Amino acid sequence: MEAAKKEGSLMVVDNETSVQRILDRALNHQDLTPAEGLTLLTTTDPNAIEAIRATADQLRKAQSGDTVSYIINRNVNYTNICEQHCSFCAFRRDEGEEGAYWLEWGAIAHKAQEAEALGATEICMQGGLNPAAKENGSSLGHYLKLLETVREAAPSLHIHAFSPQEVEFIARQDGLSFKTTIESLRDAGVGSLPGTAAEVLDDRIRQIICPEKINSATWCEIVTTAHACGLPTTSTMLCGHIETPAQQIAHLDQLRQIQQQAVQNDHSGISEFILLPFVGQEAPKPMRKRVGRDQPVLETTLHLTAVSRIYLGNWITNHQPSWVKLGLDGATEALRWGCNDIGGTLMEEHITSMAGAIGGTGKTVVELQRAIEGIDRPYRERTTLYGNPN
């Protein structure tokens, strides 16, 4: 009889036979239950973990092909002045604090022009929640001017911008609905939304790591509203801190439900899933002490990467590691654990690098291509929504 143990509200059956039975269901294109996902994630048997890796890799090939994609893009973190105090964040500053910054319009325009000149097809913009960022008394007016600045400077760039947290901030500042806010941003040039600020979609965890942020239901509401308004989003999980495997699986299950709803309603949906392992080297001391390490554990991140592909792959077929957090070698290894995309050039990245990440702030196209060649896989440049650049 199979030995069983409880974790959270889910039953975990941890033996090699059960793991193989679950993997066979996945290879037969069936969606796993949360309990099955948890069994895969909590097994410690090396043979079972290798079988999980091989299954994720096989599903990656069937769902996304052998070619590894990358994007030429630029990341612009336009301000680190933020009203919130997330316990994991080393990026935010108060106005007037040493290291606080707020990019002027000319600097943003220059960054966009430079990105376009370097062959970028996307500019990704995210920043702190700065209550002083208003245009004629309007928070939305400030963000619309930001979009106008980028559009006029580099009209060919796809604008991937503003997390659900930023959407909520704009709406709250101006007393607007999420739908009105999203439609205004869309009409001003936003082509897709980053699915960041998800952290872990469990309010028990959020109350500890980001108590001032939107709750899980609000994050899901904003993402599904964006899909209904014709804006695709990405999806993420901040992993490897104080969350449990059961909470990780519950997070994946919510993302899968969101994507199923988008498909059912013929809405824009989730274009990709990205694991964001916690980097604590420069994080606030209480969180750093609680987690007990400065850098992600590659082995556990890869295990979760594989389970994510198996759990989501029927619905979200593009999976991407974070070379910023794992380093390029770690991200390249993740291509053997279910990922089909290695991310973007970024050109500059400040949020994670200020936390002490080892991956750097930008990669060249050649660096990404050589990393992919190192595992004997072909590569291609892609657009934000995984098409081919013109």
Read off the pLDDT of each residue in 182-194 and give the average, rounded to a whole number: 98
Distance from C-alpha of 135 to C-alpha of 319, rounded to nearest angstrom: 37
Q: What is the mean pLDDT of residues 325-342?
A: 96
Q: How many Å apart are CA 95 and CA 109, to the nearest integer?
A: 23
- Residue 303, pLDDT > 90, answer yes
Range of lowest pLDDT (87-96, 199-208, 256-265): 87-96
Helical ranges in 46-102 per DSSP H: 46-64
- pLDDT-based confidence at residue 4 (cuts at 50, 70, 90): very low
Burial class (CB in 10 A: 0-12, 13-18, 19+), 124: buried
User: What is the pLDDT at residue 13?
Assistant: 43
The per-residue pLDDT for 288 is 65
Calculate what percentage of the chain has a pLDDT beyond 70: 89
Using 50, 70 and 90 to split pLDDT, how confident is the model at 281?
low
The string of pLDDT tens digits covering residues 89-99 is: 777 888 888 88
Q: How far apart are CA 50 and CA 154, in angstroms?
A: 46
Question: What is the residue-averaged pLDDT of the chain?
Answer: 91
pLDDT of residue 90: 74
In this predicted structure, the answer to whether residue 355 has a pLDDT above a threshold of 80 is no
**Angle formed by the axes of helices 298-312 and 245-264, nearest 10°:** 30
Q: What is the largest CA-CA distance in the chain?
A: 69
Region for 137 from its dihedrals, namely left if φ exceeds 0, alpha if ψ lies in -120 to 50, beta otherwise: left
DSSP per residue, 272-339: EEEEEE---TTS-HHHHHHH--SS--HHHHHHHHHHHHHHHTTT---EE--HHHHHHHHHHHHTTTT-
pTM above 0.85, yes or no: yes
Domains, the chain, in order of start with CATH, read 4-56 (no CATH), 66-381 (3.20.20.70)
Nearest to 28 by CA among 314, 388, 361: 314
Q: What are the backbone dihedrals phi and psi of residue 233, each rounded to the nearest 5 degrees, phi first?
A: -130, 165
Please report the pLDDT score of residue 99 as a whole number: 84
pLDDT at site 11: 43
**pLDDT for res 49:** 97
User: pLDDT at residue 358 above 60?
Assistant: no
pLDDT band at 15 (very low <50, low <70, confident <90, very high): low
Tokens of 59: 């599903």
pLDDT at 151 over 70: yes
C-alpha span between 18 and 30 (Å, rounded): 16
- Which band of pLDDT confidence, cut at 50, 70 and 90, is reported for residue 188? very high
Q: What is the mean predicted confidence (pLDDT) over 88-114?
A: 89
Q: Does residue 8 have a pLDDT over 90?
A: no
pLDDT of 280 above 90: no
pLDDT number for residue 14: 45
pLDDT 10s digits, 37-85: 999 999 999 999 999 999 999 999 999 999 999 999 999 999 999 988 8
Average of per-residue pLDDT across 227-233: 98
3-state secondary structure 169-237: HHHHHHCCCHHHHHHHHHHCCEEEECCCCCCCCCHHHHHHHCCCCCCHHHHHHHHHHHHHCCCCEEEEE
pLDDT (mean) for 267-279: 95
Residue 113 has pLDDT above 80, yes or no: yes
- 84-88, 178-182, 211-215, 325-329: least confident range: 84-88
